[in-house]
Amino acid sequence: MLCCLPQLSLTATTDCSSPSLEGGVIDDNTSSSQISPTVNLSRAYSLAVQTSSYSEIWSKVHHEAPSDLSGEVAQVESQEEPLQLEDVLKPNHESVQEALLHIKPDALNQLISKYLDDSEETTRLCILFSQSVNRARLLYAPIRKLLDVLPPDTESSGHTLSQAQCNWAFDIFLQFDSLTNPFPRRDTHNFNDMRHCYIELKCELDLLLHKSRSKVQFLRHATKGSVICLVGATIGVIVTAVAIASHAFVALVAAAPICPVCLPSKMGKKELVHLVQLDDATKGIFFLHNHLETVNCLVGRLYDAVEYYKRLVCFSLERGNNRYPIQERPSSQLSPSSKSGSRIICSSDTI
């Protein structure tokens, strides 16, 4: 996105290389009148997760404590070394702010500046979401340990819990009920301003992309036309030189440059580079907007799942530590073999 800013001098570089997305404008034979085709999200995602920058960020965000450490020790370590924005943002905040000082404060650049601020805020929220997932795993660790000692299907196997197991399960459910939901409510963060900025910026970039494609096509036609004109003018000069006087020949040669000669190839190559940058920036806006929508929906579903289990456990606690409310209600529905019990467990394992 920073590469698309006019009159920009960047001193910081980034290691993140944008993968070539399907339908991108890479080949010189791309037509300017062709509308950008539908992006293959599966292929684009596969290319994105294969980059070194993605692997680096993934290893930092999904840092897991060793298996021989207890949940309390792992929680203390996660609090001592929280993930910072500087660990995942390249270029960092200071480099972006320094770059923005060298651009003109027009409407498009203001949109780009707001986009960069919103993307930084989105990254911060994703880090908080990752920390919430880690807290959720710690929250469910005692319950998963309890479910490991239960048969896959307590109803069909006829297995009954002993009173000691019921007391142990009751203490685990009591601890689970006392903890707060690690995920925020659906209406905690309002992303309407971000969505509006993304949509408006994408429209502006689409307009610039169309203009850049038209300019590239014009340069190609102008280059071909200038070559034909130059050849015709040369032939005309040679034929006319035989029939006219020398002073008229000089005048004709002087008039020949009126027909444009071959335009500098550097101009076309520079515009092609700009065209690729605009195309990558437009696709980046599209992916970031959809990624924000996906994360927002996922957080909402995880919050609802935790609240559902807390209500289930609370209902069992109100019935006491007898076998039936412990085994037949929360234990059976929280089991990984059940459809409802596997929802949050699978979600936390795949994030």
In sequence order, the 6+-apart residues with CB closer than 8 A to the CB of 67 are: none
Provide the 3-class DSSP secondary structure of residue 38: coil
Query: Could you tell me the sign of the dihedral formed by the alpha carbons of 82, 88, 91, 96, in that order?
Result: negative
Note the pLDDT of residue 7: 41
Measured CA to CA in angstroms, residue 299 lies from 68, 126, 140 at distances of 29, 10, 17
Q: Is the peptide bond before 91 cis (omega within 30 degrees of 0)?
A: yes
Judge contact between 303 and 183, C-beta under 8 A: yes
Note the pLDDT of residue 232: 52
- Amino acid occupying residue 279: D
Q: What is the mean pLDDT of the chain?
A: 66
Specify the higher pLDDT residue, 305 or 49. 305
Judge contact between 183 and 306, C-beta under 8 A: yes
Structure tokens at 183: 């995920």
Specify the higher pLDDT residue, 170 or 271. 170
Judge contact between 332 and 154, C-beta under 8 A: yes
Note the pLDDT of residue 337: 47
Structure tokens at 301: 């579903």
Tokens 């994030």 label which residue? 351
Could you give the CA distance from residue 277 to residue 259 in angstroms, rounded to a whole number? 33
C-alpha atoms less than 13 angstroms from C-alpha of 12 in its C-beta half-sphere: 16
The domain segmentation of the chain, as residue ranges, is: 84-350
Confidence tier at 220 by pLDDT (50, 70, 90): low
Helix runs in 66-191, H state only = 71-80, 93-100, 107-148, 154-157, 163-178
User: What average pLDDT score do residues 312-316 get?
Assistant: 81
User: What average pLDDT score do residues 328-337 get?
Assistant: 56
In sequence order, the 6+-apart residues with CB closer than 8 A to the CB of 230 are: 259, 261, 262
Specify the pTM.
0.58
pLDDT tens digits, one per residue of 92-104: 778 888 887 887 7
Confidence tier at 71 by pLDDT (50, 70, 90): very low
